[in-house]
Each structure stands twice: as C-alpha cells, then as structure tokens.
Amino acid sequence: MFARKNGARQWRLPQVWAWAVALIVCLTACKTAPYTKRSQLILIPEATEIALGADAYRQVLAKSPVSYDPEVVAPVRSVGERIAKAANQPMYKWEFNVIDKEEANAFALPGGKVAVYTGIFPLAQDTAGLAAILGHEVGHALARHAGERMSQGLLLDVVLSLGSAALGGSSPETRNLIYQALGLGAQIGYVLPFSRSQEAEADYIGLILMAKAGYDPEAALGLWQRFAEHDKERPPELLSTHPDPATRARNMRKWIPEAKRYFAATTPAPVEPLPTPKKR
C-alpha cells in the first residue's frame, strides 16, 4: 500500500497501477484523424475493428429488408464507389447496400461497410445530395470513429470504476448514487459532446471526399437545410449525439470554399435525380 501520513488520503496499490497502465496505454495508442489531423486515442487494433464491423454488418443485413431493386441500388453503389475511390483506403473492402425502410438514415461500420435507407432518398433528392450523405458515412469509417468510441467507453469504465473504488468507506447506497451522478455527468459533459464533434468531423471529411469525387459541395448545404426542415422534433443539441442541422449548415458554409478547390480540380460527376422509393 502506498499512503501519505497524517491522515491524508490513502491510495491502494491496484489503483496506482491502474492509473499507470491507463497512462501508458494512452501514450502508446495515439492516432491522427485524416484531413483534420486531430489527435485520437484508439485502443482497438484496426484489424479487430474491421472484423467486428464486417460481422455486425452481416447481422444487420440479415435482419433488415435489403433492397435488390437495380433502380434504387445502382445510384447508391455508383456514388459510393466514387467516394470510396476518393477516400483511398486500400485496407477496406467497401460495400454499399440499401435497406428498404422509410427511416431517413444511413450508417457506416468499420472497414467500409455502408448502408443507406430508402427513406433518405427524398431528402437527398439527387446523386449530389446522396454523395453528401455517403461522404459523411465514409468519413466516419475513414476516421475510425467506431474504434475511437469503443476506446472511449473502455477508458470511461476504468475512470468510473476508480471513482467508485475511491469511495470505499461510503455506504453502498451512497456509492451507487455517486456512481450514477458521475455517469450522467460524463454522458452530458463528455460523451455527447464527443459524439457531436465526431459527427462534425465526418461532415467535414465527407465534404472534402464528395468534392474530390466530382460532386459540388454546395449540394451538402442544401441537404442539411432540408434536414433542418424535416427533423423539427429533435432533442436540444446539448442532449443529442448529433449537431443541430442549423449548426451543420453553418459549418458547411465555412468549409465549402476549401472543398470547392478540390471540386475545381476534378471532372464533375453526372448528377441525376434519385428514384422515388416504392411504398412498402
């Protein structure tokens, strides 16, 4: 046991070692996000992250109404392949599939596994709007946001456990209440803001990728303006995992001049209207 004299707080050796191990891990697991050059802490090996993503993707598709309608699938895969080429990540085996649901959503899993819901087609309107959506999702995969969130969860568990252990002399009820308060504070003060920062980073990376793929980045601004009109019942930004659509639109205006330079250096991609999804 390591202790300070005169009644000062005692530190148990396992706690000291836990902090030391956490510090060593943090120092050896630093990565850099593409394009933004933001420092990242990722404890999960990329190969493990890719394998987990592929497994989760198979499970999601097995339980979902996957669309095989060429009219719907073709534009998603065509735009997705352009974005993936711009991403230039040869380690990833990119896949782009369509889920036939009215939900206005899309997602990406580690290793380049992307799915788009047909419910987002009316908001995207055309292949340029779709490029903004796919660019955002590819941005998540490229920046390894899933691995970063998993690492964050592991460290948060360690911190909360150490905090709980430090209350060893308290009653179980008191420890439980304090543990819950710490968890809620971490959620609002760190986890949600971190999630919003990842979403903003994916917006920025996606804007650059769509421009490099030949799509006018102005289309992304129109997309988020339509989302703002569509999603009026969302929670306050403080309690949300995503930035408010109005915030995203402001960010787009700030980033578009840079993205325009990439767009000017490419051959413009054809822009075509998206099909209207059939009612289920």
* Catalytic annotation, residues: 137
Q: Which H helix or E strand runs over 131?
A: helix 127-142
**137-173 CB burial, b ≥16 within 10 A, e <16:** bbbbbbbbbbbbbbbbeebbeebeeeeeeeeeeeeee
Q: Which residues contact 211 (CB under 8 A, 6 or more apart)?
A: 217, 259, 260, 261, 262, 263, 266
Q: Could you give the 3-state DSSP secondary structure of residue 159?
A: helix
Burial of 221 (0-12, 13-18, 19+ CB in 10 A): buried
